[in-house]
C-alpha cells in the first residue's frame, strides 16, 4: 500500500509526498487506519521506525476535517513528550505535515520564558506538544485549558516513566475530558508500562512491531574491551580515523561528558556536549549545529538517546555502557535511521562486564566482539599518550609564557 492510497485530505497527501514518503513503515501501516477509525491505540515499536508520522498523519487529517465543520476553538490534541528535544522534534514533524492545512501546532517546554507561550496559547492552537513540567505550570496558572482535548498522545511513554513522570501523567487525567481518543506509543514494554497504558486506554488496539533482534537490521554493532582509563585514547583513534563521519558519543554522566570533551580538545578534536546542565538555548544551538553538519562529534548523556531523529548519524560510540538494555537499543538506534546503514561500537571496561552480560541477555544474543591484539592496544595507547603529553607540554609552556608576560606588565606599570 502507498500513502497515496490512504483516504486523507489532499493537502496532507501533498506534504507527505514532498517529504519523499511513498510507502508506510510497519508501525505506520498498522496504526494509521486504527487511529483514523477513532480507536485507542497501544503501539510498541523499536526506535527509528517512524512512530511520530504514524500518529501525526491521522491526527492532522482528523483535525483538519473537523475544523471544516467549524468546531469550537481550543487545544484539540495534546501530545506529551519526556524531553525538550523530543518535543521540538515532534513539533517539526507536525509543522512539515500541516502546511496549507487548517491545523495549527505549538510546542511548550521549560527552560524558556513563559510569556510568549501564553500569548500563543491565547491565540489558539489545535495541536499542543508539551513536556510535563511546563504544561502543569501553565495549567495551574489558568493559561492552558485542556477541556476541549479530543486526542491524547503519550510518546516515548517508557522514558517518561524512567524520568519519574508517572504521577504527572495520572494527574493530567483530571484535566482532560473522559471522552477522548488515547494513543500510547513506546519503544519498549514492561509490566509497569502495561499497567499504566491499560489504565488510560479503552478497548485499545494493541500493535507490537517486535523483531527477534531489537536492534535494527541495518545497524552493525560491536563491543571492544578497553579499560576505563584508556577509553579516551581509543576514542581519539576512532575519531581521527574517521574525521568526516557524523558521530554521537554516549557517556553516563554530565561530568563525564565535559571530561571527555576536554580530553578530545587535547588532541585537537572539536566536540560539543549535550546534557541536562545545559540551558535550553544552549541545547537547541548544539542540536542545530549537529543536525546541520556544523559539528561532527557530539558527546551526550542519555537525554538525547530517546526518540531524537538526527539525520545522517553514521557512527554511535558507547564510551560508557548504559545501565539497561533498553538504553542500549535506543542509543545505537540513533544511527541507521530509516533505510540508512549505521555502525555502533561500545567500549567495555572490566568494571562494566556485568552490564554487558545483562544487555546481551536481554537482547537474546551476544554482541560481536572486536578483537584488539595486545600489540595494537599498546601501540594505540602509546601513540595517543605522546600526543596528549605534547599538548600538556604546550599548555604548560603557554602558562609560563603568560606568567612572564604578566610580570613584564607589572614592571612597566612600576
Note the pLDDT of residue 293: 81
Within 10 angstroms of residue 395's Cβ, the number of other Cβ atoms is 11
Note the pLDDT of residue 374: 92
Within 10 angstroms of residue 282's Cβ, the number of other Cβ atoms is 14
Looking at the chain, the whole-number percentage of residues with pLDDT higher than 70 is 88
pLDDT tens digits for range 354-381? 999 999 988 889 999 999 999 999 988 8
- Residue 190: which pLDDT band, with cuts at 50, 70 and 90? confident
Q: What gap in Å lies between CA 23 and CA 1, rounded to an integer?
A: 6
Higher-confidence residue: 315 or 45? 315
Residue of 107, 106, 26, 97 whose CA lies nearest to 62:
97
Residue tagged 572539536 (cell numbers): 270
pTM of the predicted model as reported, rounded to 2 decimal places:
0.71
Residue of 210, 208, 207, 153 whose CA lies nearest to 176:
153
Within 10 angstroms of residue 48's Cβ, the number of other Cβ atoms is 25
pLDDT, average across residues 263-280:
89
> Is residue 304 pLDDT above 70, yes or no?
no
Q: What gap in Å lies between CA 161 and CA 151, rounded to an integer?
A: 21
Note the pLDDT of residue 308: 62
- Residue 394: which pLDDT band, with cuts at 50, 70 and 90? very low
| CA Rg value for the chain | 24
In contact, 61 and 12? CB cutoff 8 Å = yes
HEC string for the chain? CCHHHCCCCHHHHHHHHHCCCCCCCHHHHHHHHHHHCCCCEEEEECCCCCHHHHHHHHHHHHHHHHHCCCCCCCCCEEEECCCHHHHHHHHHHHHHHCCCCCCCEEEECCCCCHHHHHHHHHHCCCEEEECHHHHHHHHHCCCCCCCCCCEEEECCHHHHHHCCCHHHHHHHHHHCCCCCEEEEEECCCCHHHHHHHHHHCCCCEEEEECCCCCCCCCEEEEEEECCHHHHHHHHHHHHHHCCCCCEEEECCCHHHHHHHHHHHHCCCCCCEEECCCCCHHHHHHHHHHHHCCCCCEEEECHHHCCCCCCCCCCEEEECCCCCCHHHHHHHHCCCCCCCCCEEEEEEECHHHHHHHHHHHHHHCCCCEECCCCHHHHHHHHHHHHHHHHHHHHHHHHHHHHHHHHHHHHHHHHC
pLDDT, average across residues 392-400:
51
Note the pLDDT of residue 392: 53
pLDDT tens digits for range 64-77? 998 766 666 789 99
> Is residue 167 pLDDT above 90, yes or no?
no
> Is residue 203 pLDDT above 90, yes or no?
no
Residue 75, C-beta contacts closer than 8 angstroms, at least 6 positions apart: 121, 125, 126, 127, 128, 144, 145, 146, 148, 149
Region for residue 140 given its phi and psi (left: phi exceeds 0; alpha: psi -120 to 50; beta: otherwise):
alpha
> Is residue 208 pLDDT above 60, yes or no?
yes
Domains within the chain, CATH numbers bracketed: 3-209 (3.40.50.300), 219-372 (3.40.50.300)
Note the pLDDT of residue 277: 84
Question: Which of 134-138, 215-219, 265-269, 301-305 comes out lowest in average pLDDT?
Answer: 301-305
Note the pLDDT of residue 276: 80
Note the pLDDT of residue 61: 96
Higher-confidence residue: 104 or 2? 104
- Residue 385: which pLDDT band, with cuts at 50, 70 and 90? confident
Note the pLDDT of residue 32: 95
> Is residue 413 pLDDT above 80, yes or no?
no
pLDDT, average across residues 48-58:
89
Mean pLDDT score of the chain, rounded to an integer? 86
Region for residue 164 given its phi and psi (left: phi exceeds 0; alpha: psi -120 to 50; beta: otherwise):
left
- Residue 13: which pLDDT band, with cuts at 50, 70 and 90? very high
Note the pLDDT of residue 165: 80
Amino acid at each position: 500500500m502507498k500513502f497515496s492510497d490512504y483516504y486523507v485530505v489532499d493537502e496532507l497527501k501533498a506534504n507527505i509526498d514532498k517529504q519523499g514518503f511513498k510507502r508506510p513503515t510497519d508501525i505506520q501501516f498498522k496504526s494509521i487506519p486504527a487511529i483514523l477509525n477513532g480507536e485507542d491505540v497501544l503501539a510498541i515499536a523499536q526506535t527509528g521506525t517512524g512512530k511520530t508520522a504514524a500518529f501525526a498523519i491521522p491526527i492532522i487529517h482528523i483535525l483538519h476535517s473537523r475544523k471544516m465543520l467549524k468546531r469550537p476553538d481550543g487545544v484539540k490534541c495534546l501530545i506529551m513528550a519526556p524531553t525538550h528535544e523530543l518535543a521540538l522534534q515532534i513539533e517539526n514533524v507536525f509543522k512539515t505535515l500541516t502546511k496549507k492545512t487548517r491545523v495549527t501546532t505549538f510546542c511548550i517546554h521549560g527552560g524558556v520564558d513563559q510569556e510568549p507561550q501564553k500569548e500563543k496559547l491565547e491565540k489558539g492552537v489545535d495541536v499542543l506538544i508539551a513536556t510535563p513540567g511546563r504544561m502543569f505550570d501553565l495549567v495551574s496558572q489558568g493559561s492552558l485549558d485542556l477541556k476541549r482535548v479530543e486526542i491524547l498522545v503519550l510518546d516515548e511513554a517508557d522514558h517518561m516513566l524512567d524520568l519519574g513522570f508517572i504521577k504527572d501523567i495520572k494527574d493530567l487525567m483530571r484535566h482532560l475530558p473522559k471522552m477522548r481518543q488515547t494513543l500510547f506509543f513506546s519503544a519498549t514494554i514492561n509490566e509497569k508500562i502495561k499497567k499504566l497504558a491499560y489504565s488510560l486506554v479503552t478497548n485499545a488496539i494493541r500493535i507490537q512491531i517486535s523483531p527477534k533482534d531489537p536492534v535494527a537490521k541495518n545497524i552493525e554493532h560491536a563491543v571492544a574491551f578497553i579499560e576505563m582509563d584508556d577509553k579516551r585514547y581509543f576514542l581519539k583513534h576512532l575519531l581521527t580515523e574517521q574525521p568526516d563521519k557524523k558521530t554521537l558519543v554516549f557517556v553516563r554522566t554530565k561530568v563525564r561528558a565535559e571530561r571527555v570533551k576536554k580530553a578530545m580538545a587535547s588532541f585537537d578534536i572539536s566536540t560539543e556536549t549535550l546534557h541536562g546542565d545545559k540551558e535550553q538555548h544552549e541545547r537547541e544551538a548544539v542540536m542545530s549545529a549537529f543536525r546541520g553538519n556544523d559539528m561532527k562529534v557530539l558527546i551526550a548523556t542519555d537525554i538525547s538517546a530517546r526518540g531524537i531523529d538526527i539525520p545522517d548519524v553514521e557512527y554511535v560510540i558507547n564510551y560508557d555502557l548504559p545501565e539497561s538494555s533498553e538504553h542500549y537499543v535506543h542509543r545505537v538506534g540513533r544511527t541507521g535511521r530509516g533505510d540508512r546503514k549505521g555502525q555502533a561500537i561500545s567500549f567495555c571496561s572490566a568494571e562494566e562486564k556485568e552490564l554487558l552480560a545483562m544487555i546481551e541477555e536481554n537482547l537474546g544474543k551476544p554482541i560481536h566482539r572486536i578483537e584488539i591484539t595486545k600489540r595494537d592496544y599498546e601501540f594505540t595507547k602509546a601513540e595517543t599518550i605522546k600526543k596528549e603529553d605534547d599538548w600538556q607540554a604546550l599548555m604548560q609552556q603557554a602558562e609560563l609564557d603568560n606568567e612572564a608576560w604578566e610580570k613584564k606588565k607589572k614592571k612597566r606599570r612600576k
